[in-house]
Amino acid sequence: MKSATRKNLSDKKPASGSKSTRASNALPVQSTLSRIHKPDDVTLEEWQRTLRRQFGEKQNFSVVNVGLHPLFSDFVLTNPQSGRTYKIAIRGAAPGLNYCSCPDYSINNLGTCKHIEFTLQKLRQEQGAEKQLTEGGYTPPYSEIYLSYGLKREIRFRPGLGASAEWVALAK
């Protein structure tokens, strides 16, 4: 019979570093994706969007709502480090709905950027904002024709308040 003498606590490896106990108050559960290697279980676009979200959420941008609606509005974002300012339009949580005037946004085909992600994260802190942003129930006071920046760039129409039924049907 095999002796059981080795069955002890030895499968608990001693912590290799001297990092001490940071497990309990470490970062939130959401793990940080690698910037270098795409994880197998996400698409390239999702990975790149997540990187921008993770980066954006750590920034110290200042953002000012220059429109009329508390969420679905136009914003001016300033990066205090570079001094650069960008125009942002927020229309919902989904990629491609929003707009930013930065160079990354115009070429990355992701429909988002770190500035948009930063702004969305700020807005989500308001009560009920997440629901409104996600459900996309936004109706602008005026009809808009806009360019959707996804993998496929498309001109889209968003009917505003008072748009006739025909126009609303066109937007479907």
Residues that bind Zn ion (CB under 5 A): 100, 102, 105, 113, 115
At closest approach, how far in Å is the CB of 137 from Zn ion?
24
Measured between alpha carbons, how far is 83 from 73 in angstroms, rounded to an integer? 22
**67 vs 157 by CB, closer to Zn ion:** 67
**115 vs 158 by CB, closer to Zn ion:** 115
Measured between alpha carbons, how far is 82 from 80 in angstroms, rounded to an integer? 6
At closest approach, how far in Å is the CB of 55 from Zn ion?
11
**113 vs 123 by CB, closer to Zn ion:** 113
**98 vs 132 by CB, closer to Zn ion:** 98
**116 vs 163 by CB, closer to Zn ion:** 116
At closest approach, how far in Å is the CB of 30 from Zn ion?
22
The structure tokens 């490896």 sit at 13
At closest approach, how far in Å is the CB of 25 from Zn ion?
32
Contact 145, 155 (CB under 8 A): yes
Phi and psi at residue 155, to the nearest 5°: -85, 130
Contact 67, 94 (CB under 8 A): no
At closest approach, how far in Å is the CB of 56 from Zn ion?
9
Give the Å distances, CA to CA, from 128 to 64, 123, 125.
Answer: 20, 10, 9
Tokens found for residue 75: 């914003």
Contact 116, 128 (CB under 8 A): no
